[in-house]
Amino acid sequence: MGSKAKGKVKLKSNRGAAKRFKVTGTGKVRFRRANRNHIKTKQSTKKVRHARANGVMCDSDAKLVHRMLPYD
């Protein structure tokens, strides 16, 4: 019959994390800032403007994301 491959099983990436985070070529983790979708009239212009930029996660939090996205 068919022979099974020996070795480790492939890991599944966390689909929720895959939709929210992106790993750059250098291994840094990018994310979209909060408070971007609705009810922006009561927020200050500065807060809305700064939320436009994508954030880069600090190394300690990025370690958790790398664990959830093993092949990125």
- Model confidence pLDDT, tens digit, residues 16-55: 999 999 999 999 999 999 988 999 999 999 999 999 999 9
Q: What is the pTM of this model?
A: 0.75
How many other C-beta atoms can be found within 10 angstroms of the C-beta atom of residue 52?
Answer: 9
pLDDT at 5 over 90: no
Contact partners, residue 36, CB within 8 Å, separation at least 6 = 51, 52
- Domain 15-68: give its CATH code: 4.10.410.60
